[in-house]
Amino acid sequence: MRALVYKGPQDVRVEEVPDARIEEPTDALVRMTSSGICGSDLHMYEGRTAVKPGTVLGHEPMGVVLDVGPAVRLVKKGDRVVIPFNIPCGSCLNCIRGFTSGCLTTNPANAGAAYGYAQMGPHRGAQAELLRVPYADLACLKLPGKPGDGMEDDFLLLSDVFPTGFHATELAMVQPGSTVAIFGAGPVGLLAAHSAALRGAAEIYVVDKSGARLSLAKRQGAIPIDFTKGDPAEQIVELRRKNKELQQALRPGEEKMPGVMCAIDAVGYQAFGRDGEKAEPSRVLMDIAKVINATGTVGLIGVYTHNDPGAKDAAERKGEIALPIGELWSKGVTIGMGQTPVKSYHYQLRDLIMAKKARPGAIVSHRISLEDAPKLYKEFDKRDKVTKAIVRFV
């Protein structure tokens, strides 16, 4: 089968690799119809992870079931399915508690497994014609319609970025009427904004440097903040101070809460400094500490790795990044973080799409063939005009 293979930093190639096949009774074999290229794939592409050359990339799978193992009962040949990037067994201590992102059996080295990703187990990725899906009855979410139809993009984003954006709002405890600042207008940040709107947030601010991405954020109902034009926390506070109705509604003492109650880091360890060019891994954490109100809630959904070969110093190479703990502690801030347990949201978000209440596919900017993937990675790495790219096999 044809697949996209990591060869080294800035070097990915389409190659012939052995066909995926059923290896266990609980497996399914799925023919890909779409496979997403994720912003977190760029960490590997840039050499900023411990991914091994020869790895088949891709953790956002969707397709049609070709065959199933003898123990599979709920999935059958011909089903249209989307598969979470997590690979959970469904039976271990973490899985039965709902933390399918921390499965204890599917990765020999760590808690948590995924397709085609560094340190997430031996599983080949989904930017390929075929994918072996372990524990298929749990993993495969059945979909209506036909491959390539008008819901193809929306449904594909159920594999990762839509549940991840929604999980970010869960970590940040977004509620009706919440004020929310989201740092990063990549796919996850944009869908965090979409999710915040679905949850009834009153004010949503999205911070980035890309004009194209900020325009998409505005379409999601968010207020765009360009961090190259000044301190984003100060920009948000100033906008809120200029809101006459808000200021008129304040009681004595409430002026001490000039920022937002919820903040989301959708950037992670490859954050930029104020100039938009130089890396500054702790920049978003510092900005969040400044803009979050006392007793606020923060969701860190952007990737922070414990192994970064491209970092500038020894501490950062081990994932040790400065955290403004004093300011966060003094404000009594609650912080949630980690990978998304996709299965916790799968059915609900699918049904929102089917009811046309959610349209995550609106952020998709590029649909390409597998052969064009190496060129797309290079363009995506600029983090500007490519918002979300999908490899289409149909």
CATH class as words, domain 2-160+342-392: alpha beta
Q: For residues 386 and 321, what is the distance between their CA atoms, to the nearest angstrom?
A: 28
Q: In what order do the strands lie in the sheet with 334-337?
A: 223-226, 203-208, 179-183, 260-265, 292-300, 334-337
Section 95-105 average pLDDT: 97
Average pLDDT, the chain: 96
pLDDT tens per residue, range 285-309: 999 999 999 999 999 999 998 888 8
Task: Please say if the pLDDT value at position 218 is more than 90.
Answer: yes
Instruction: Name the residue among 18, 142, 117 with its Cα closest to residue 58.
Output: 117
The pLDDT of residue 194 is 98
Q: For residues 374 and 320, what is the distance between their CA atoms, to the nearest angstrom?
A: 31
Rounded to two decimals, the pTM is: 0.96
Q: In this structure, which topology does domain 162-337 adopt according to CATH?
A: Rossmann fold (3.40.50)
The pLDDT of residue 306 is 82
Task: Please say if the pLDDT value at position 376 is more than 90.
Answer: yes
Q: For residues 144 and 142, what is the distance between their CA atoms, to the nearest angstrom?
A: 7
Confidence tier at 130 by pLDDT (50, 70, 90):
very high
The pLDDT of residue 287 is 97
The pLDDT of residue 146 is 97
Domain borders along the chain are 2-160+342-392, 162-337
pLDDT tens per residue, range 140-183: 999 999 999 999 999 999 999 999 999 999 999 999 999 999 99
The pLDDT of residue 38 is 95
The pLDDT of residue 153 is 98
Task: Please say if the pLDDT value at position 253 is more than 90.
Answer: yes
Backbone torsions φ then ψ of 179, nearest 5 degrees: -105, 130
Instruction: Name the residue among 289, 168, 282, 221 with its Cα closest to residue 206.
Output: 221
The pLDDT of residue 385 is 85
CA angle 229, 232, 238 (to 5 degrees): 95
Confidence tier at 48 by pLDDT (50, 70, 90):
very high
The pLDDT of residue 391 is 98
Contacts of residue 9, Cβ cutoff 8 Å, sequence gap at least 6:
45, 46, 47
Section 304-327 average pLDDT: 88
On the question of a common fold for 2-160+342-392 and 162-337, the answer reads no
